């Protein structure tokens, strides 16, 4: 631990800025990994199959109870099922309104990782320039030994900041690619399940409308006979 603080002190103030950036990035990465691989983990196939069976049998109440959880998929399906007897426009509007909140919660802070990577790079660049300034400042009319010491210190500061900044940026970008790929995969599953459910609700609604219309036509024909 002592060696780490000595290294940070040797690199100057920008090293602490890069350290703070790395801590924020690690926090975001750990949180997103937990959410995508643990908290938001769900087996969409059996859930869609069970809800589809209940919708087909007309048991909408049981279907709604099945999707009362806090998972974004549950809430999207819940929004669609609550509007099962309404028009297509109302069903889609309800799902879209819920999606604004739920998909934002599902994405979390993933989009901040590229910015944190850029910030680490920029702080490293500032540290490098700071080191070069130290090097050239020590070259002005002083003894050779003093100039050599200033040059060595400035180059060390520059290299420390460059290395630390690029390391944090690289690790953050790699983590972003992994998290982003998982997030895209899971969002594709969510969109597929919700789209399938909405299509089924619309089909069921058309079937009910057709049956109702058929009944209203057949009654007068029976009277004529």
Q: What is the pTM of this model?
A: 0.84
pLDDT exceeds cutoff 80 at 213: no
Label residue 198 by pLDDT band (50, 70, 90): very high
pLDDT tens for 27-53 read 999 999 999 999 999 999 999 999 999
For residue 134, what pLDDT is reported? 85
Q: With CA atoms as reference, report the closest residue to 117 among 163, 180, 168, 160.
A: 168
Distance of alpha carbon 161 from its chain centroid, rounded? 30
DSSP helix/strand/coil, 83: coil
pLDDT exceeds cutoff 80 at 202: yes
The kind and range of the H/E element at 216 are: helix 144-224
DSSP helix/strand/coil, 24: helix
What mean pLDDT value characterizes the chain?
88
pLDDT tens for 112-137 read 999 999 999 999 999 999 999 888 88
Q: With CA atoms as reference, report the closest residue to 123 among 22, 221, 1.
A: 22
For residue 141, what pLDDT is reported? 59
pLDDT tens for 138-195 read 766 567 777 788 888 889 999 999 999 999 999 999 999 999 999 999 999 999 999 9
Q: What is the rounded CA–CA span in Å between residue 91 and residue 71? A: 19
For residue 212, what pLDDT is reported? 57
Running DSSP on this structure, what letter comes out for residue 111? Answer: T
Q: What is the rounded CA–CA span in Å between residue 64 and residue 54? A: 9
């Amino acid at each position: 631990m002592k060696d780490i603080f000595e290294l940070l002190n040797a690199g100057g103030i920008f090293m602490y800025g890069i350290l703070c950036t790395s801590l924020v990035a690690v926090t975001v990465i750990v949180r997103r990994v937990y959410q995508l691989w643990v908290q938001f983990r769900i087996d969409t196939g059996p859930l869609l199959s069970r809800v589809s069976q209940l919708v087909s049998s007309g048991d909408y109440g049981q279907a709604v109870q099945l999707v009362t959880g806090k998972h974004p998929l549950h809430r999207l399906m819940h929004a669609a099922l609550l509007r099962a007897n309404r028009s297509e426009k109302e069903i889609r509007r309800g799902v879209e309104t819920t999606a604004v909140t739920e998909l934002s919660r599902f994405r979390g802070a993933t989009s901040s990782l590229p910015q944190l990577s850029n910030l680490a790079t920029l702080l490293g660049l500032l540290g490098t320039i700071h080191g070069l300034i130290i090097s050239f400042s020590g070259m002005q009319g002083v003894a050779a030994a003093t100039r050599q010491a200033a040059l060595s210190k400035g180059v060390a500061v520059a290299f420390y900041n460059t290395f630390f900044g690029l390391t944090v940026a690289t690790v953050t970008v790699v983590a972003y690619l992994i998290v982003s790929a998982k997030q895209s995969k899971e969002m594709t599953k969510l969109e597929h399940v919700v789209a399938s459910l909405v299509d089924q609700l619309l089909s069921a609604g058309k079937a009910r409308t057709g049956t109702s219309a058929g009944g209203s036509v057949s009654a007068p024909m029976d009277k004529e006979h």
